[in-house]
Amino acid sequence: MATASGPTVRKRQPGAELRRLRENAGKRTDDVAEHLECSMSKISRVETGQAPIKARDVRDLLAWFGVEDPVQVEAVMQIHKDAQQQGWWAHYEEVLPPGMATYAGLESDAVALRAYEPIFVHGLLQTEDYARAVIAAVRPGESEEVERLVRFRMQRQDLLARRPDPLEPWVVVEEAALRRPVGGKEVMADQIKHLIDAAALPNVTIQVMPTAKGAHAAMAGTFALLEFGSKAPTVVYVDSIAENVYLEKERDVRKFIQTFDLVRAAGPDPEETPAILENIAREMYQT
């Protein structure tokens, strides 16, 4: 039960351990909810690391699950204590959309990311002006909040230069997203140049899915696979206007891995990306 280094992985560990112990004890989620006098959804959120649990409730559950070994009890309590540490994104939580703080933590803990983006350039690859134009469009009249969210998005990008192990993103973006003049021609010209520069980084892979390819496996919408190496299982993040969903069950994760593998196989070789981007810039944004 070693504690992983990242704050969000740490936050997920107490719930994962409690779930394992619950299952070993033959208890159901509704049994735990009844025991703690709370909702089943609260227990589900605790077990997936999306809701906190008090230390006294952890001790109560351990006793109820029949965990009597003092060493094991203290190990679980230490995991719970470690999980209380906050990440850098806590400074922005009051302006973040629901679920975004969780995503930022997972992204910070991840060693690799695989993402499909049909509408926008991925946040890790946006220029400051492009990010400002996107955020201002969905949050009109909130200039102060927009600037804070832009700073948040720019700080996320520090992961690409993290030492000694930078995040390794593989992003498939739709051609149509790059032909949408977000912020105007000058902003888009700079954004595409930024993508060309990013694609040259050894840890970054970008594919542009041509509109002419037609239908493909990932057309249901935006998603990302966050990989943590040996620290924790892969998590799927699905973004939508209605809500942000995190999936961890093996069958769900496997489905999205297969989908991403299909879509990147359908796209051009990443080595073609600079030429594709230069062509879009020449056609759309030359002044």
H/E/C letters for each residue in 119-141?
CCCCHHHCCHHHHHHHHHHHCCC
Do residues 223 and 181 touch, judged by C-beta distance below 8 A? Answer: no
The model's pLDDT over 217-256, given as tens digits with 9 standing for 90+, comes to: 999 899 999 999 887 889 999 987 767 788 888 999 999 9
Q: What pLDDT score was predicted for residue 1?
A: 36
Instruction: Report the pLDDT value the prediction gives residue 22, as an integer from 0 to 100.
Output: 94
Residue 34: the pLDDT is: 92
Positive or negative, the Cα torsion across 186, 192, 193, 195? positive
Q: What is the pLDDT of residue 7?
A: 52
Contact by Cβ (8 Å): 236, 246? yes
d(CA 18, CA 11): 12
Provide the 8-state DSSP code for 234: -
Half-sphere exposure of 87 (CA within 13 A, CB side): 24
DSSP assignment letter at 3: P
Q: What pLDDT is attached to residue 120?
A: 95
Report pLDDT for 3.
36
Going by their DSSP bridges, the two strands 245-247 and 223-227 should be labelled as unpaired
Coil/strand/helix, residue 148: helix
For the chain, residues with pLDDT lower than 70 are: 1-11, 84, 242, 287
Tokens of 149: 């969210």
Task: Single out the residue of 187, 198, 194 nearest to residue 129, CA to CA.
Answer: 187
Could you write out the DSSP letters of every residue in 34-65?
A: HHHTS-HHHHHHHHTTSS---HHHHHHHHHHT
CA separation for the pair 265, 197 (Å, rounded)? 23
Two tokens at 182?
């977000």
Closest CA to 268 of 173, 188, 169, 160: 173
CA distance 80 to 15: 9
Determine the Cα–Cα distance for residues 91 and 68; give it in Å rounded to an integer. 39
Q: What is the pLDDT of residues 34-62, one digit of tens each?
A: 999 999 888 888 887 777 888 899 999 99
Could you give the residue ranges of the DSSP H alpha helices within 142-270? 143-156, 175-179, 185-199, 250-266
Joined tokens for residue 108: 């910070």
pTM of the model: 0.77
List the structure tokens of 128: 């400051």
| Through-space distance between the first and last CA atoms of the chain, rounded to whole angstroms | 58
| pLDDT computed for residue 230 by the predictor | 81
